[in-house]
Amino acid sequence: MKWEYRIIKADTEELYERALNAAGAQGWEAVSSSYSAGESRKVSLGQGMPLSTAVGATQWAALMKRPVRE
């Protein structure tokens, strides 16, 4: 059997769930899923305040597969 693959990414949980449900309705199934936050970095708040840590953007991602119809 041959498979085709696709990656779904979203910035919010709601968009991620919506994208996964839409893909499932088209015959895709999830192989793996992950949640991550971007790199943290030090930022200045100005006016002599100490540096603060800003957390990067969050992202959900899933690897999907479905059989290739021949």
* pLDDT tens figures, 4-60: 999 999 988 999 999 999 999 999 999 999 998 776 666 677 777 777 766 676 789
The structure tokens 């936050």 sit at 37
In the chain, domain spans: 3-67
Alpha-helical segments (H) within the chain: 13-25
Q: From CA 9, how far away is CA 32, in angstroms rounded?
A: 12
Task: Pick the closest to residue 22 from 12, 34, 14 (CA basis).
Answer: 14
Global pTM reads 0.70
